[in-house]
Amino acid sequence: MNKKQIIDRLDTIAMYLEIKGENSFKVAAYHRAGLALENDPRSMAGIQNLSEIKGIGRSTAQVIEELMSSGESTVLKKLEQEIPSSLLELLSLPGLGGKKIGKLYRELAVTDRASLQEACDQGKISQLAGFGKKTEEHLLELLKQRQHRPEILPIPYMLEVAEQIARVLQSIEAVNRFSHAGSLRRAKEKMKDLDFVVETTDPEKVAEELLARLQIHQVVGRGDAKMTIQLDDPNHVSVDFRFATTETYASMLLHFTGSKEHNVLLRRLAKERDEKISEYGVEREDGTTRVFQSETEFYRYFGLNFIPPQAREGKDELELAKKGPLNLVCPSDIKGDLHMHSTWSDGSHTIEEMAEAMRKKGYQYACLTDHSRSLRVANGLSVERLSQQIRKVAEINEMYDDFTLFAGIEMDILPDGSLDYPDDILSQLDFVIASIHSSFTQDQKQIMKRLENACRNPYVRLIAHPTGRMLGKRHGYAVDVDKLIAIAAETGTALELNASRHRLDLSSKWLKKVQDAGVKISIDTDSHSLKMLDDMELGVQTAVRGGIRPKTVINTLPLNELKQFFKQKKPV
C-alpha cells in the first residue's frame, strides 16, 4: 500500500470517528497523522521509525504499520461495521458535520444522499431537535446541486483567481490596504479556498462593492467582521474576506495566514505568559489588548525573529526564531534569472526585450537559455543558430554597463540518455541547463539513466524542472529524487527550483534534502514571456517553504562570484 493510500485510510478513520461523535481531538489526531506522513518527503519504505515523526503516536503508528503489512486495518474494519460507509460522503456537504450526521443516522436512519433526500421530502428533518425549516431547505438545495466542486485546487489556478480579486480590491476606494492570506500566502501547492484581509473603516461598503464587482455564485455568509462567497467560476472557488482596522490589520493578517499549527504554537507561547492571542491582538492579564503595526512587531513581542509566511508550518522554525534571524532566502537576495526563452525558440519576446525587462527588475544578470535542436516543436536552435545567438548575446552585452546577459542553453536530454549537443559546442556557453522534454512515460530506470548521464557531463551545470510535473495537470516522470540528489551532490550539478507557477519543481518538500546534501539550487522562472518573470517571487516563497538559505542558491551570487562559479570545473 502506497503512502497516498495510507493517508486516505487515516482520513477515512477520522471521518468515521467524527460521525461516531468521538472526542474532536482524537479525530484531529488521525488527520494530523496523515498530514505528518504527507509532509515527510520519504517514501514509506524509507521510514524506519514511524512514531519518531511528530504527530504520529503509538496508536496511529500501529494503524499505519498494519496498513503497510496487510493493506488492512483492524480499527478501520471495526468502524466500517459500526457505521455505513455511505455516510462519509455527507460530510462533504457544507453545514453538515459529524454531530448532525450522527443524529440524522441514529434518529432518522439517514445513510446516504438518497435517504437524506427522502427525509427532507417527508419534512422529517425540520422536526428534529436542533434542526429546523431552514436547515431542511438548505439541505434540499445542496442535494439538488449534482456536481461536486473539487475540494482542493492547485496554486496556478488559485493565483489567477486571487490576482483578479486583488485588482477589484485595488479599485475600491473604501479599501485602505489588503493582502491575501491563508494557504496562498504560505505558497502551498494546493488549497481549498482563498483568504483576504482587508483594512477598511467601512466593511459594509467594501462588502457591497465586492458583491457588485465580482462574479458571485453564492454568498455563503456575511457579517460585520467577515464575508464568505463562492465565485461564479467553473470551480466555485470559495473566498473569505476578513475586515480589519488599522489597529487590528497586522494581527488579523498573522491569524488568517496560519498555518493553523503555527497559530496554535504561538497561542501556547502566549498562554505561558498568561496572555491570549486573538485575531484582534494580544489580550494581557489586565484585560487590555495590545495591537501591532506589523507582523514583525508581533513576533518581537514574543521574543521571536520574523518568520516568513511560507515558513509558518511547525515547531522547528519557531525554535529557530527564538535564537536568531532565520536567514532564509528572500526576494531581494535574487540577483538574476538563469532560465528564460526568447523568440529564437518558443518565447514570445525578443532577447532584447527579455534582457531589458530583467535589468528593469533590478537584476545584475540573466541567462538566455533557449531550447536545443531536438525540441522541434519549440523551434530549438541548430548548432549554427546557437552560434549566431552567442554572437547576438555578446552584442547585447555591449549595450549595458550595469547588466550582464549570459549565453546559455536549455538542452534536451534525449530518450536514449544522450545529450543534444556535443561537448565542443557546450564548451562555448556560459551556462548549460539540461532537461527532459520527451518520452515522459519511460520507466524509472531509464529516466534515471538519462538524468545521470546529464549530471555526469562536465558542462551541464543545472538540471531544470527535475521531475517534470505540471501542477494540477500531470505528475511528471518517474524520477527517484533521492537518487538524483545523490548524483547531483557527487557530480557538482545544481538542481532547479523552477519558479513557474505551473511547475514549482523541485517542490518545497525536496528542497531541504537538496540543501542538506550540499547541492546548490537555482531559482529560475523559465520565462517564455515578460509576465512570467514575476513568478520569481513565488519561486522564492517556495524556497522559503523548503527552508532554503541564500548561500544554497546560485543566483543569489553577485556577478563576479557567479562568473567564477561558471568557470569552476565540475568534479566529474
Partner DNA sequence: GCCGTTTTCGGCCCGACTGTTTTCAGTCG
Among 167, 260, 473, 551, binds DNA (CB under 7 A): 260
Residue 54, phi then psi, degrees to nearest 5: -65, 130
DSSP 437-497: -S-TTS-HHHHHHHHHHHHHSTTEEEE-STT--BTTTB------HHHHHHHHHHHT-EEEE
Residue 114 CB partners (closer than 8 Å, separation 6+): none
CB-nearer residue toward DNA: 185 or 520: 185
User: Is 531 an interacting residue with respect to DNA (CB under 7 A)?
Assistant: no
CB-nearer residue toward DNA: 133 or 148: 133
CB-nearer residue toward DNA: 95 or 362: 95
CB-nearer residue toward DNA: 102 or 417: 102
Residue 337, phi then psi, degrees to nearest 5: -120, 125
User: Is 303 an interacting residue with respect to DNA (CB under 7 A)?
Assistant: no
**The pairing of beta strand 281-283 with beta strand 276-278:** antiparallel
Site string for DNA, 100-139 (x = CB under 7 A): xx------------------------x--xxxxxxxx-x-
User: Is 486 an interacting residue with respect to DNA (CB under 7 A)?
Assistant: no
Among 271, 322, 474, 475, binds DNA (CB under 7 A): 271
Calpha distance 34→314 (Å, rounded): 15
Contact call for residues 419 and 413 (beta carbons, < 8 A): yes
Give the cell for residue 123.
Answer: 419534512
> What letters, b where the CB count within 10 A reaches 16 and e where it falls short, cover 371-394?
bbbbbeebbbbeeebbeebbebbe
Smallest separation, CB 205 to DNA (Å): 15
Region binding DNA by CB under 7 A among candidate stretches 30-38, 475-483, 494-502, 547-555: 30-38
Site string for DNA, 35-64 (x = CB under 7 A): ----------------x--xxxxxxxx---
Among 47, 76, 96, 559, binds DNA (CB under 7 A): 96
CB-nearer residue toward DNA: 73 or 525: 73
Region binding DNA by CB under 7 A among candidate stretches 188-196, 488-496, 546-554, 558-566: 188-196
Contact call for residues 388 and 411 (beta carbons, < 8 A): no
Calpha distance 543→552 (Å, rounded): 10
Smallest separation, CB 172 to DNA (Å): 18
DSSP 168-237: HHHH-TTEEEEEE-HHHHTT-SEESEEEEEEEES-HHHHHHHHHHHS-EEEEEEE-SSEEEEEESSTT--
Residue numbers 210-239 binding DNA by CB under 7 A: 221-226, 238
Q: Is cis: bond before 471, omega within 30 of 0?
A: no
User: Is 195 an interacting residue with respect to DNA (CB under 7 A)?
Assistant: yes
CB-nearer residue toward DNA: 221 or 560: 221
Residues near DNA (CB under 7 A), total: 61
Nearest to 51 by CA among 41, 40, 60: 60
Smallest separation, CB 247 to DNA (Å): 14
Run of H or E including 508:
helix 508-516
Residue numbers 424-453 binding DNA by CB under 7 A: none
User: Is 401 an interacting residue with respect to DNA (CB under 7 A)?
Assistant: no
CA angle 160, 342, 498 (to 5 degrees): 50
Smallest separation, CB 5 to DNA (Å): 19
CB-nearer residue toward DNA: 157 or 243: 243
Smallest separation, CB 37 to DNA (Å): 12
Which residues of this protein are in contact with DNA, per CB under 7 A? Answer: 23, 25-26, 28-30, 32-33, 51, 54-61, 94-101, 126, 129-136, 138, 182, 192-193, 195, 221-226, 238, 240, 256, 260, 263-264, 267-268, 271-272, 276-280, 283
